[in-house]
Amino acid sequence: MAGVSYYAAAAAGTGRPSVVQFGAAPNRSRWVSRTRLRRRNAGGRFGLDSNSELQVDVKPSSGSMVEIELVATNTGSNLALHWGALQPGRRKHSILSFQSGSNSTLKIEIDNQGLESIEFVIVDEAQNKWFKNNGQNFQVHMRPPAGHHHQGQQHSATAGSIGRKNRDVMQLLSKNASTNDQVNKAAEATPSKCTVLDLFIKSLQEKHGSQVLCKKVFKLGEKEILALMSQVQGSTKVHLATDHVEPLILHWALAQKPGEWKAPPPGIVPAGSTLLEIACESPFSDAELNGLHYQVLEIELDDDSYKGMPFVLRSNQTWIKNSTSDFYLDFSRRTAKSSEVTLPFSFSPILAKNLLQKSSQNPMLIFFPCIKGTSDDSKGTAKALLERIADLEEDAQRSLMHRFNIAADLVDQAKDAGQLGLAGLLVWMKFMATRQLIWNKNYNVKPREISQAQDRFTDNLQSLYKMYPQHREMLRMIMYTVGRGGQGDVGQRIRDEILVIQRNNNCMGGMMEEWHQKLHNNTSPDDVVICQALMDYMNSDLDIKVYWDTLNKNGITKERLLSYDHPIHSEPNLKSEQKEGLLHDLTNYMRSLKAVHSGADLESAIGTCTGYTSESQGFMVGVEVNPVKGLPSGFPELLKFVLDHIEDKSVESLVEGLLEARAALRPLLLSSTERLKDLIFLDIALDSTVRTAIERSFENLNNASSEKIMYFISLVVENLALSTDDNENLLCCLKGWNHALEMSKHSDDQWALYAKAFLDRTRLALATKGEEYHDILQPSAEYLGSLLGIEQWTVNIFTEEIIRSGSAASLSLLLNRLDPVLRNVANLGSWQIISPVDVAGYVVVVDQLLTVQHKSYDKPTILVVEGVKGEEEIPDGVVAVLTPDMPDVLSHVSVRARNSKVLFATCFDPKILSELEQNEGKVLSLKPASVDISYREIPESELLVSSSIDTVDGQKAPSLSLAKKQFLGKYAISAEEFSDEMVGAKSRNIAYLNGKVPSWVSVPTSVALPFGTFETVLSDKINKEVSQKVKILTEKLDQGELGALSEIRNVLLNLTAPTYLVSELKEKMQSSGMPWPGDEGEQRWEQAWTAIKKVLASKWNERAYLSTRKVKLDHSNLSMAVLVQQIVSADYAFVIHTTNPSSGERSEIYAEVVKGLGETLVGAYPGRAMSFVCSKNNLESPKVLGYPSKPIGLFIQKSIIFRSDSNGEDLEGYAGAGLYDSVPMDKEEQVVLDYTTDPLVTDCSFRTSTLSSIARAGYDIEQLYGGSPQDIEGVVKDGKIYIVQTRPQIGGEELEVDELLDLQQLRRHILDHLRVYLVVVGVVVEVRRDGCVVGDTTHAAAAPLDCSPNIPILSSPAAARLGSHPAAALGGEAGCESSSRDAVH
């Protein structure tokens, strides 16, 4: 060591170091391989700041001595090491000061076997700057902990670990992906330019009504010729059209069998033709479409027995052929007839596969058949590109050279079609790679020509990769299917080296010669498998069974070997003395094969990027590959480490090395680096190797600890993030897993509950990615598959197979292993019971609740549903909904289930759910417990006795009616004017709370557009045209045309605001202290008016309309007021139920909290909110039930929100809340949430304080309503609670139907009479004008009673159950609110 070295020796049993001084040391920037002791950092390299790094090495010294060397580079000032040695149950800390130069080194020797690790931080004393490891202490492990048994290594060279560079996870962020809507819009906005041949086809179909039976496009240099067969009114014709400039003669014939040239009958030849012995010559005619010149020829056939038409072209004296062959239009390749059906691509792959299997026994199980050849087949695809691919497929089948050259020519058209175009290319290449398409047909091609064509295609893809970052993920997938290719000798080596192998090993005949002939003329990816089969055969002492096993496992059968243009008939028949030489030579030869054909081979990818010179005599002689310039420092050594550990049984070190290599490579992949393509293929190979390594480790994880499984999950999430365009959510998941690991290591009692939230979020991320792939790829697979005649089962599982080939499949398996462990530790059970009801019914399995929400089942039905979003309705006749999906407990569908007495539960155990699905059609009895559901099969007779679908306790549900609200002359009103004739319960409750809630709770200022405003505006003469259109559409709706709903909503957006509405609303908002949008410009008022119109139009939402129809409400009587409030820019939003809705426990408050605005909670955004319960007897001790897993938060700056407030929300027995829209004036910003930086999740003290405040607010508001359970929405901003609405909690009172009076009638009675008699427990009492109760009060105490018409009043049984405060129940569905006077106490 240069300079002076000092050592700090830990005293035995104390771990206390002596004070030492650092000296200068050489800069050590290489990657270090050292003995692996534990998964966590056993040394490594860490970034201190942008210029300085810390290298830590741990190595055994003599005996039990361990030496730890720390090297700090480019520090330039005094540093201090704050450190301590750790042993189980003990922790000793010390401070070590030292002087530092530009580089500084410190060695610590510890001779104490009881010490497991050291922890430390570093401080720059001059700048008072502390260096930590991602906010945590650095931790270096010296020995395996007690009880840890390190798995033995095969070779000493494999006993090592790579130091992960200390980098912020968010440095891996990529946010270039487009949403599906943006993708589709982009494709629509940039359509490919129509050629004259496209116009010609369109003209045939539109002007002449022709049906195209088959068509083919052939290349004529830079021009094209189209040949198609059409049928119109029973006449079959062949049309030829070309954009070739020079005059052409068609030399043609007809064929009734392949290869035949037969002169056509004289009666069908076009005018001006010349009949020859076996052919006919016909001139093309000039024509023009949209100013574009072309040549055309039409031939009408007289016989349907012809199989095709061979032809060549003549221009002057030059003959034009299809490369070296004749052109041929195959009449047998016709568009599928309408009798052929396939599954619609809107189904998920798994569902489609299941339906296909079941349809073999029952064809009726194929729902919504999609007819091939219809226009809908191509929806969601780059249709023109796919049809072009289909036209060129026959040429592509000649050889891989032809296919890759055609693909290279199509790249520009794919680019113009956007992501859907690239999806089309991927589907085509994947069909090719999986041998669904012919690789070679009657054409010999040199290997170097294939390699050059690959090189050309992948060069074009590389150009797109540089120019369009949003498409990089798709481009990587295409390149993975194609292989690297290469110019010059890269492909030629395949041809030359097999001769060297044969000569050197004396194997010139038999199978080796047949393989040589195939390689010489048509090499393909199959040759990689054949080479591997030969090596496996020799390694097994020439066991021919092993040879066939390798071939068959990789999809190569005897029949396929015989199908090559140069077939392989023979089996290898080699001698033992040839084994050693052949193994050596074939191992080298495999490099050449993989260099051309494999896009994911790690060794060849590394060699291409780091460079190599041939050392094997006879192989790649004189070949030199230069390294890619600008590779990170130490990168070649890192890749060497990876290759050295590629066969390790314990894969942690290998995967760490692979991920470190990918992370180091990432900056180069994001720039226009020279030889970018080689780096992309290297990254693809590293990605693929991570996946195979993880899959190899599954057996070793059978009995692994939860901590180890979480660690593997974090590795796979990181790998997936590195392969994904829009990876912010995955990176937040990765941070969450890392935090869960730290919580587990520190024995935090919340670690399992926290980890479960991130498990759910990660699953959601995988599901979202799967849906994205399905939406983008499956339509193209369906359409192109139908055009190319691909087997239907292959098409149906296309997207599923794409997903299986990546890291997502491995990650899903790891999550499934960890899930039951976490549920057990966190005492979560296998179920979450959202609505607990004992039920019995017939089991029906459906894919999505949304698809059956308006269906009526004629017998008690238990739905087992794959997907529940949260906004659906519960179908009539359904008694239970069981799902693996996780809607919020307070979501719309959850509330609906509880209100309808339907069992609703989430099942976390796939095995239990599968067992339930297997009971489809059977009658089951279900009994929920706190975290479980027991079930048993019962006879139908027992069901008939116990079932009562339409009744509760044998009584029919009450009939419901709506009283139409009238316009009372005001277009806008302040909160003081709110009444039940003017606004709904939402507005009245807010007015009631104002001034009554505690000082630490706020209520936003509000005004409203009252009932009747909408109808009055619609009838205004300035909106006459809109009104007429609405009237016509309403009549259509009354006739059952549900499509009119969306049309009505769109028409209403054209409403014009009358000037008196604008002026009244402005006056009310300004007098209430609210900002007027128009003060910021006319555009801002138009934004506000558009939001108001969307609220009013939401009366015609499909869900709302069908919901009213289900309960036979007159939809025309539904009136809409609009509540106007300033938006509180929330830190958090919450919903409170003051009675626990899952258990019915009145003494317990239940609440859910989300980050940002509450729309992600009430609007059924995916993922779970944070949930907690709190005893009303101890509001200071909330108990967290679940941490949040919602990936998205909504945030907005200063703005105004317009809330729906219909009279339908006032009805008892009808949950109208949540059916209609609330619309902010400004668009919310969607933010991907990082819960590792959220104090509500990470700071126990902050969490307890915030949740306690929410619970206390709920309790106090419930008390304002006399203890009537409330459903409350609010937000938290800077620690302050804001309540935005409250209403009675559905199901909270457990009231009988006959306990309710007609509330509207009673209100009118109070208005009409100053004296009212209220029956309380069968005793008549009189309510005087002053509100006092007089008379016989034996069973009810007198109390001041607010006789405001805003208050709905309950009948005597309900009131009696409230004990001494009968009037405290003044609530019902609408809620209990008053104008200015106090509530009953």
Q: Does 141 qualify as catalytic in the annotation?
A: no
HEC-encoded secondary structure of 911-975: HHHHHHHCCCCCEEEEEECCCCEEEEECCHHHHHHHCCCCEECCEECCCCCCCCCCCCCCCCEEH
**CB 1364, CB 1341: distance < 8 Å:** yes
The residue annotated as part of the active site, out of 141, 244, 892, 1115, is 892
Amino acid making up residue 1000: W
b/e map 162-174, b = 16+ CB within 10 Å: bbebbeebeebeb
Answer for the pair 431, 790: CB distance below 8 angstroms, yes or no: yes
Q: Which residues pair with 658 in a beta bridge?
A: none
Query: Is residue 343 a contact partner of residue 355, using CB atoms and an 8 Å limit?
Result: yes
Q: Are the CB atoms for 355 and 367 separated by under 8 Å?
A: yes
C-alpha 286/C-alpha 295 separation (Å) is 5
CA 408 to each of CA 219, 577, 1290: distance values in angstroms, whole numbers, following the listed order: 14, 46, 62
Sheet containing 1120-1126: give its strands across.
Answer: 973-974, 1006-1009, 1120-1126, 1200-1206, 1223-1224
The three-class DSSP label of residue 1363 is coil
- Cα–Cα distance measured from residue 1330 to residue 229, given in angstroms and rounded to the nearest whole number: 92
Separation of alpha carbons 504 and 585, rounded Å: 9
Which residues, 6 or more positions from 208, have their beta carbon under 8 angstroms from its beta carbon? 232
Q: What angle, rounded to 10 degrees, do the helices at 676-696 and 706-722 form? A: 160
Instruction: Give Cβ neighbours of residue 216 (< 8 Å, ≥ 6 apart).
Output: 226, 227, 228, 329, 330, 391, 394
* Alpha carbons 740 and 748: distance in angstroms, whole number: 9
Q: What is the number of other CB atoms lying within 10 angstroms of the CB of residue 492?
A: 17
DSSP structure string for 1119-1169: -EEEEEEEPP--SEEEEEESS-TTT--TTEEEEEEEES-THHHHTT-SS--
Distance of CA 81 to the CA centre of its chain: 45
- Judged by DSSP in three states, 604 sits in helix
Residue 379's H or E segment, with its range, is none
Helix or strand (DSSP H, E) at 1377: none
Instruction: State the Cα–Cα distance between residues 236 and 299, nearest whole angstrom.
Output: 9
Helix/strand/coil for 133: strand
Q: Where are the beta strands (DSSP E) in 74-192?
A: 79-87, 90-98, 103-110, 117-124, 129-131, 138-141, 161-162
Question: How does strand 1280-1288 pair with strand 1001-1002?
Answer: parallel
User: What is the C-alpha separation between 1232 and 609, in angstroms, rounded?
Assistant: 36
Which residues are part of the catalytic machinery? 892
